[in-house]
Amino acid sequence: MARLAFLTDFGSTYTKVCAVETGTGRLVGRAHAPTTVDTDVAVGWRQAVARLHQEHGVALSDASVQLACSSAGGGLRMVVVGFVPRLTAKAGQIAALGAGAKVVGTFSFRLSETQIQEIRDLSPDILLLCGGIDGGDTDTVLANAGKLAAGSDWVTVFAGNRDARAEVERLYAAAGRPLKATENVMPEVGDVSAHGISDLIREIFADHVIKAKGIDRVRELTGHIVMPTPAAVFVGLELLCSGARGNGLGELVAVDVGGATTDVYSFAHGRPTRPDVVPRGLREPYGKRTVEGDMGVRLNAPSVIAAAESCGLGVAPERLESFKSAAAKLPFQRSWLPSTDEEKEFDLVLASVAVAAAMRRHAGRLTELFTLDGRRWLQEGKDLSEISTCIGTGGPLVHNPAAMAILVEGLKMANGDPMALVPRGCSYLFDRYYCLYAVGLLRQINPEGALHLGRSTLGLSEEARANGT
């Protein structure tokens, strides 16, 4: 038998295991079971492994490599502290989300004692402290560092003005608090530098956060837990975009529809596509992830329906009222699945609105400006209007027979806002095997094999076409 990799995702709801040939990236089998993080995460993992053996004849003893990612136990909780909200604080948030974090709070300027207590109450796993371009202001970030070092139970990552780095390190050392320092997230005004932060956050996640959440107890069974699940998906999509040797899909967007959040990923330069448009604000990184915590199609169903009218959902008022009534029940029925035609329509509306709202928030926007030379347009964020590939993933989407209709309708509604720089026309691909996380994990040891796995789950490989899947 070919050498196999067992690739595990400890999700917030389900633990998923994929068995993949390490050399070729061929998917041998996959299985899942409910995540049991509240008791012993190993129980759910063993159940998934047992199902993998029962359904595909693959045993744990066949695995020569094991890697895992996790979003269980609340995922990677991060707080970002910056200087100016639309600059360093936003740059820090972009970097944290790209590393797979769940940003639970963002703070700017000098922190008050009340804000320090708010941060403690948020109980972050990691605090990202940034502020000041290189050679710029140091007073604010040093004042914040002094207050944060005095009473923090989290790991702090410093990614601010390099001129303040030595003093920040001294403050934390004197307080006996953990600190990791890396390059400035915004070394120059408007430029986001996220790679150093992403690598460091994943390292801290693997070394500290997993242990704090008790998930490290299964490390000897599942192999190294190398990154948060959203980071694994990010890395997998990045590979599909670029390819292992330049043979990727090119610029793309991806939408991950979930019960609690809807995430959007884009891999694109996002430069203006019109000559009369001028960019403004941060130059966002090529790879970007956003998380919409109010757009989960189960836990946050009432918020999704509340956004329906602003997204241009064209239904009669009485129909909308019935949707609101149904949505109010879903936070208490997270395992609900539609059965009647009316329920299926409601489910399609939920997912479509979540896609539309999340895509609008992720993409850049135009604003109109009148000057002495005439009308001009300002672009803030990334112009995704000419991207032609959209990937859909997430359980509520890939397991839905109406997945194509959801994405088509979602993008149609998103395009109802002429100022939103969302994709205008796309070909749609789906993570049919729900294993984009495994693509990101396998990339750590075999990028070529990981690319084959990714193309296979999207139905683009010769193997998938031969099987008619």
Write the DSSP assignment of 434-468 as a string of letters: S-HHHHHHHTTT-HHHHHHHHHHHTT-SHHHHHTT
> What span, in angstroms and rounded, lies between the C-alpha atoms of 310 and 297?
17
> What span, in angstroms and rounded, lies between the C-alpha atoms of 129 and 197?
11
Residue range(s) in the chain whose domain bears CATH number 3.40.50.2300: 77-204
> What span, in angstroms and rounded, lies between the C-alpha atoms of 274 and 280?
14
> What span, in angstroms and rounded, lies between the C-alpha atoms of 442 and 239?
11
> What span, in angstroms and rounded, lies between the C-alpha atoms of 124 and 127?
7
User: Hey, what long-range contacts does 193-199 have (CB within 8 A, 24 or more apart)?
Assistant: 194/91, 194/94, 194/95, 194/98, 194/99, 194/285, 196/159, 197/92, 197/95, 197/96, 197/99, 197/128, 197/157, 197/159, 198/95, 198/98, 198/99, 198/231
> What span, in angstroms and rounded, lies between the C-alpha atoms of 11 and 34?
9
Residues 6+ apart with CB under 8 A from 198: 95, 98, 99, 231
Supply the pLDDT for residue 82.
Answer: 94
Name residues of the chain where pLDDT drops below 70: 1, 212-213, 334, 462-469
Residue range(s) in the chain whose domain bears CATH number 3.30.420.40: 4-73+213-222+434-466
Residues 6+ apart with CB under 8 A from 178: 154, 155, 156, 172, 208
pLDDT tens, residue by residue, 176-225: 999 999 999 999 988 898 888 988 998 888 877 777 667 777 777 777 88
Supply the pLDDT for residue 213.
Answer: 67
Supply the pLDDT for residue 400.
Answer: 92
Amino acid occupying residue 325: S
CA distances from 236 to 240, 269, 308, 337, 441 (A): 6, 18, 31, 29, 8
Q: Domain 77-204 has what CATH class?
A: alpha beta
Cβ atoms within 10 Å of 260's Cβ, excluding its own: 19
252-430: CATH architecture: 2-Layer Sandwich (3.30)
What is the token pair recorded at 168?
Answer: 């920040």
Matching CATH number, 4-73+213-222+434-466, of 3.30.420.40, 3.40.605.10, 3.40.710.10, 2.60.120.620: 3.30.420.40
Supply the pLDDT for residue 185.
Answer: 94
Identify the DSSP state of 87. Answer: I
Q: At 170, phi and psi to the nearest 5? A: -65, -45
> What span, in angstroms and rounded, lies between the C-alpha atoms of 443 and 429?
20
